[in-house]
Chain A
Amino acid sequence: MSARAKNFKTHNLPSLSISKNENKKSSQREISDHSLDNYFSTFPSEEDLDRAFGNAYVLNQPVNGVGGDGFWQGTKGDCSFLIVFDCMGHGRFAAMMTRFYIRIIHEIVVNRNISKPDEILNGIHQQVKEEFKNQDAKHVGTGADIGVLVFDRKQHKMTFSGAGMDLVVSSERNFERIKGERKQVGQYFEVERSYQSHVIEITKRNIWQRYYLFSDGVTDLFGGPKGKKLGFNKLSEILKDGLKYELSEEKKYVENALSHWAGSNEPLDDLLIIGLSLR
């Protein structure tokens, strides 16, 4: 369970407790919220990402305790995959869709052995179409913004494809936004689409750079002196400032910076940002 899930308070239920008889000795225990356990345990841990890429952090803050942002990580041969997605909507219906997306991503990357980021996006899009083709009664959005990042340690390259999601690459020398296609996957099946793969060669000069994938809940976070959205420019400032810290410490810095920006404004969307580096 993530730290956030552990810290989650089941407030307003103070007078209710479950007694569990164990060895005929009654002991009180607080009700645990299975949906929180289920939501956070759906995703890999930071340690999993560390093992796959080198160094990583995850800031996952669903607006209703559970939500529609999620990520999948896998390794095949010399390649490590990180797939970040932002399903439409919030709350429990969106959480259902995160589990659906986890399942179909596993199907495409592992079972069908598709490894190219653009082909993974096309595969996900087609799979959503297939699974919902006979559903005329669906009322929950099936679309998602997705970023696919593949690190090939043998070929020394990082490949990215985005559908409604961008990749940020940041270092002391370079700050770059690699834009994904604006068309998200999993809806508007009548519209033709193709996704492009962007390749970053990993060299001694750029091995220290950091990579960020994030849901639009981050840039859409309301706050600041004028009560406006954070936007990409302000996020860029935060990430550039974050370079002062080790990646493991940057998480706290980014979390505090976003919290400071939001102030007393309640977040309106789920918020997920994953930062990683190869060293």
Chain B
Amino acid sequence: MDVQQLAFEKTVNVFINSLSNYFLKLTKKPIKTYAPFVKEPEDLIMKECTGMIGISGNKKGLIYISGDMGMFEDLIKQYVGLNSPTANDMLDMAGEVSNVVAGNVRETYGHEFMISIPVVFKGTPDRLKFPDDVPIYVIPMSWNGHEAFMVVGIK
């Protein structure tokens, strides 16, 4: 394994730790993560609801967290206490999760690691064009019976 690959996997681990810590803090229920894999160009790893953050500065790329509406609904019920969250609430929850996960990673890499305001969207676009010079890792996860993905592409 080359040095670049090692550095990338170290970065991905920082994101996994951030994701695990945030879910644990929100809900007291740990997430389960599965073996990361490299996204093939034709793969579209996206579920019903997605929160995405752009990264610039000393690292460049993106991270998104994508899950079904039910996962974000459960998160809202458990953390916010709203009994009947709307689809818009779930989109906001997706944005908040991605924002905090990326924000906590920033603590590791400092102020030169800059993150955008989260962009959220519902559904799957026909095709998502990723930058082709960035390795894209997919980290499958599950929480409270829901499956989701964290996708990280950074150089």
Contacts and interface: CB of A to CB of B under 8 A. Distances in A.
Interface of A: 10-21, 26, 28, 31-35, 38, 42, 64-66, 91-93, 95-96, 99-100, 131-132, 135, 137-140, 142
Given A13-B54, A19-B125, A99-B86, A65 B117 contact: yes
A33 B91 CA distance: 10
Given A11-B54, A38-B91, A20 B126 contact: yes
Given A35-B118, A131-B83, A15 B131 contact: yes
B38 interface: no
B150 to A, nearest CB: 16
18 contacts: A11-B117, A16-B131, A17-B129, A19-B128, A19-B129, A20-B126, A28-B129, A32-B119, A33-B121, A35-B92, A35-B95, A65-B117, A96-B89, A100-B82, A132-B81, A135-B81, A138-B81, A140-B79
Contacts of A138: 79-81
A67 to B, nearest CB: 11
Given A17-B129, A35-B95, A66-B92, A10 B80 contact: no
A35 B91 contact: yes
Closest 5 pairs between A and B when the two form their complex, measured CB to CB: A138-B81, A12-B54, A135-B81, A12-B116, A13-B54
Given A19-B127, A20-B126, A38-B88, A32 B121 contact: yes
Interface of B: 26, 52, 54-56, 60, 62, 76, 78-83, 85-86, 88-89, 91-93, 95-96, 99, 114-122, 125-131, 134
B130 A12 contact: no
Contact of B95 (A11, A17, A21, A92): A92
B79 A13 contact: no
Contacts of A31: 52, 119, 121
Interface class of chain B by DSSP: mixed
Nearest to B27: A137
A16 B129 contact: yes
Contact of B88 (A18, A99, A132, A139): A99
A140 B80 contact: yes
A26 to B, nearest CB: 8
A16 B127 contact: no
Contacts of B89: 96, 99
Contacts of A20: 125-127
Contacts of A17: 129
B29 to A, nearest CB: 11
A246 B81 CA distance: 44
A11 B54 CA distance: 8
A82 B127 CA distance: 44
B82 to A, nearest CB: 6
B80 A96 contact: yes
A92 B122 contact: no
Contacts of B78: 137
B128 A12 contact: no
Contact of B127 (A18, A66, A92, A140): A18
Given A42-B88, A93-B92, 6 more contacts: A12-B114, A13-B54, A15-B131, A35-B95, A38-B91, A66-B92
A32 B91 CA distance: 13
Contact of A96 (B52, B92, B126): B92
B129 A92 contact: no
Given A19-B129, A34-B91, A64 B117 contact: yes
